Amino acid sequence: MTVLRHVVLINWTPDASDEQKQRVAAELGRLPALISSIREYRFGSNAGINPGGYDFAIVADFDDAGAYLTYRDNPEHRAIIDEYITPITAQRAAAQYEF
């Protein structure tokens, strides 16, 4: 079975507080229970092993593009992005690929 993987990498703004970053993680942690199209969902702060990496990563797996779009457009997901992530994001990169 083919899986669609969505990967997001984020660099926080210099003024992003630890509390704000923890809130992002807490809010993202609610999504698997709210959006049934999520097959697997993982996220976390960079372990800092290599220099120059992004601060935070999100990896989500879906059965297909339609399931991903359901997640992408979900109002709860959009609200978390708008309220908690975007205000403290300096840089963002994302990709989707099948495996």
Residues 35-90: pLDDT tens digits? 999 999 999 999 999 999 999 999 999 999 999 999 999 999 999 999 999 999 99
The identity of residue 92, as a single letter, is: R
Dihedral sign for Cα atoms in the order 40, 16, 77, 31: positive
Rounded mean pLDDT, 9-20: 98
Could you read off the pLDDT of 18-39 as tens digits, one per residue? Answer: 999 999 999 999 999 999 999 9
Longest CA–CA span in the chain (Å) reads 43
Query: Hey, what domains does the chain have and what are their CATH numbers?
Result: 4-98 (3.30.70.100)
Distance CA 92, CA 9 (A): 6
Q: What pLDDT score was predicted for residue 68?
A: 98
